[in-house]
Amino acid sequence: MTPEPRSVFVEPGGVRLHCLLWGDGGDPLILLPGLGHSAHVFRELAPALAAERRVAAVTPRAHGASATPGDGYTVATLAAELRGAMDALGMERAALVAHSFAGVVATRLAADHPERVSHVVYLDGIVDYAGRDRVVVRNPFPPPSRPLLGDAFQQREWLRRYVPGFWCEPLEADLAARAPAVEEIRRLELLYPVAAEVAAHPPPYGALCCPALALVAAESVESHFGWLDPADAVARRRAEEYLWGIRLPWRRAAVERFRREAPRGRVVEVPGGHYFFLSARDRVADEIRAFLLPPAPPDP
């Protein structure tokens, strides 16, 4: 059975943030959920990392049980609140593991306060947000819009069918932590300026002083279009043309920028979709643990 985390709240700058904690000793490690998700999404990955480390998953403002201030939605504010959460948790210096959009926040904190960040791990978080819309609009089989105004059953069924990966306890807990639909819509509207900011100002990988590992999804038709009929050869061909001809070049360009600019960066591909840290948890945990190991002493 997966161990139940300790639930606490911290208030950096007066903004109440929800955190889940695992482990009691070892160097600190902080897990950062992507846009639209809470700390609960790490309920399976975190215990796999907590044997050697003190692990905290931090839910950012306007997500899950965290507060929703009426203003201040910038990358700098999100990074400052993360730093304040570290202070409140007694974590002077920590490794950051960031999923998706949270990679932007981790990069900003590591670049602005290198003394606070020992390592950065990106979980499919190396993205060219400026070019994203041009790629997404060419998707031949986009999923239907998520039913934000539906009940929990409708939400669950949509996520089961269209979230790349598989349904599991962390996603169930994450769904249960969401605010009522009207509040979720308000939160999306408040968060929009952050997405626009990132599209205009790419993350400064060149300013990273610490080692950085980008775990990147090695996508397939199955992981990206899991709802397609496997017997529909025409649909599969169109899906492949989109993945390999449009989406993959866009993703590769972002990865190559990271390789060029991050002084101590490396890239590892993990088979699966955007949520490979759920579908390939053990592989991801192994990669993170190996990356965080101290370097071996030189041979005498």
DSSP 8-state assignment for residue 264: T
Q: Give the mean pLDDT of 40-54.
A: 95
Q: How many C-beta atoms lie closer than 10 Å to residue 212's C-beta?
A: 26
R_g (Cα) of the chain, nearest Å: 19
**Predicted pLDDT at 149:** 67
Length of the chain: 300
Backbone torsion region of residue 185, taken as left when φ is above 0, otherwise alpha when ψ lies between -120 and 50, otherwise beta: alpha
Q: Give the mean pLDDT of 160-172.
A: 80
Is the pLDDT reported for residue 245 higher than 70? yes
**Predicted pLDDT at 144:** 86
The closest alpha carbon to 40, from 147, 187, 222, 172, belongs to: 172
φ, ψ for residue 40, nearest 5 deg = -60, -25
Which has the higher per-residue pLDDT, 295 or 103?
A: 103
In the block, tokens 């730093």 appear at 83
Residue-averaged pLDDT of the chain = 93
Is the pLDDT reported for residue 240 higher than 90? yes
Do 57 and 78 contact (CB within 8 A), yes or no? no
Handedness of CA 268, 274, 275, 276 (dihedral sign): negative
**Predicted pLDDT at 238:** 97
**Predicted pLDDT at 162:** 84
| 288 CA to centre of own chain | 14
What ranges in 228-275 are assigned the alpha helix state H?
233-242, 248-261
Q: How many C-beta atoms lie closer than 10 Å to residue 300's C-beta?
A: 3
Residue 297: band (very low, low, confident or very high) from pLDDT cuts 50, 70, 90:
low
**Predicted pLDDT at 296:** 55
**Predicted pLDDT at 152:** 75
Residue 161: band (very low, low, confident or very high) from pLDDT cuts 50, 70, 90:
confident
| Beta-carbon contacts of residue 229 (< 8 Å; ≥ 6 apart) | 235
Residue 150: band (very low, low, confident or very high) from pLDDT cuts 50, 70, 90:
low
